[in-house]
Amino acid sequence: DIQMTQSPSSMSASLGDTVTINCLASQDIGNYLSWYQQKPGKSPKLMIYGATNLEDGVPSRFSGSRSGSDYSLTINSLGYDDEGIYHCHQYYEYPLTFGSGTKLEIK
């Protein structure tokens, strides 16, 4: 199975900051990587697909990047609405797998 090692597990940042969340794939997954935001008691919401593509309706403050097997989600100009848990997800091959999640708190 492909392991997705996500870091950090939690982080706290201030309004207006820029933060980066990382996922390391245990083997090549190409660009078959997506990022989800989840708020308490809610379903996950697709933010980025294909490693770098912004889902319709998602603010351009969010961006995804890739360097080899390292994938990153960057959020610029943090706002209170960005608080939540972020999950990375590989859909390159079965079984599909997720990272362990990053809890982002806005101070």
Partner 1 sequence: EVQLQQSGAELVRPGTSVKLSCKVSGDTITAYYMHFVKQRPGQGLEWIGRIDPEDDSTKYAEKFKNKATLTADTSSNTAYLKLSSLTSEDTATYFCTTGQTGFDYWGQGVMVAVSS
Rule CB under 8 A: is residue 10 a binding residue for partner 1?
Answer: no
Name the DSSP letter for residue 14. Answer: -
49 contributes a contact to partner 1 by CB under 8 A = yes
In this structure, are residues 58 and 47 in contact, taking their beta carbons and an 8 Å threshold? yes
**Segment (H or E) for 102:** strand 102-106
What is the Rg, in whole angstroms, of the alpha carbon atoms belonging to the chain?
13
| 84 interacts with partner 1 by CB under 8 A | no
Q: Which x/- pattern, by CB under 8 A, does the window 53-82 give for partner 1?
A: x-x---------------------------
Kindly state the smallest distance separating residue 15's Cβ from partner 1, in Å: 26
Number of residues forming the site for partner 1 (CB under 8 A): 22
Is residue 74 classed as helix, strand or coil in its secondary structure?
strand
Task: Confirm or reject binding of residue 100 to partner 1 (CB under 8 A).
Answer: yes
> Judged by CB under 8 A, does residue 45 bind partner 1?
yes
Distance CA 51, CA 73 (A): 9
